[in-house]
A = this chain, B = another copy of it.
Amino acid sequence: MSNVLIVHAHPEAKSLTAALKNLAVETLTAQGHTVDVSDLYAMGWDAVADRNDFTAPVNPDRLHYAAESKHAFASGTQTPDITVEQQKLLWADAVLLTFPMWWFGMPAILKGWVERVFAYGFAYGVGEHGGERWGDRYGEGTLRGRRAMLTVTIGGREPHYSARGVNGRLDDLLWPIQHGILFYPGMDVLPPFAIYQTDRLREEEWPAVAAAYRQRIERLFDDAPIPFRKQNAGHYNGQQVLKAGLGVGEGGTRIHLIQPGDPAESSV
């Protein structure tokens, strides 16, 4: 049995997003997993990364956030709220983020959770940097071996988020989160669970949504992750640019997905 962290960002406990979060807790618990929830609104999470995140700053006169983050993480002088969330991430075998899509991204309170918790030395600045190496990231890093999955509630219509829809493809909109935030420190990211036109969901439609979501949650440790290419496994050159011959026929962020016929990744 495994440990699952749910990071939840919705201001209303009676919302559809919260109902999905509650269903995830129930389903995982029934499977015998242990679940912890960071309910950011309920916790009154501090969304703003600033100098107050560092109890013993190196340079109180000029804030360099990454430098202070590195020092504070290494010296144990982060604020306790940050440390607690990092411990939850280390404890977890899987991490779910449950949130409404607001202006094509995660709510600010969740973005602020990432900015403050994903410290230098914890989620970035890990491994050797310089020359042909640019860190242990994208498939490597502190959170390697963990699974992650987004649960996203969307007000708009599904066609608007399709491959040629006016909003942009959902996977492109989620790229900064799924690849840039979750895969970066090493997590394996499952395809997202997304529902559309949430304002129009009728009571009688909920059982079907719940059944679909329950199935995804029950397969959290079984489903195949999105096949993002690892940075240091042979598909990128020393500039971290995709090598010629890979990603052919694809465009945009999809060139970074392993395709049938691609050479196997070397182990990292």
Interfacial residues, chain A to chain B (CB-CB below 8 A): 11-12, 14-15, 41, 47-51, 62-66, 102-105, 107-109, 111-112, 114-115, 118, 134, 138, 155, 157, 159-160, 162, 164-169, 172-173, 175-176, 179-181, 199, 231, 236, 239-242, 247, 250-256
Contact = CB atoms under 8 A, between A and B. Distances in A.
Most chain B Cβ neighbours within 10 Å, of A166, A176, A239, A252: A166
Given A180-B103, A250-B251, A108 B169 contact: no
Given A11-B51, A159-B241, A247-B164, A108 B105 contact: no
Nearest to A45: B48
A180 B104 contact: yes
Contacts of A47: 47-48, 108-109, 112
A109 B15 CA distance: 24
B62 A169 contact: no
A231 B109 contact: no
A108 B112 contact: yes
A166 B12 contact: no
Nearest to A231: B166
A250 to B, nearest CB: 6
B62 A166 contact: no
B111 A115 contact: no
Contacts of A103: 111, 114-115, 118, 176, 180-181
A108 B64 CA distance: 17
A256 B241 CA distance: 24
Nearest to A246: B164
A159 to B, nearest CB: 4
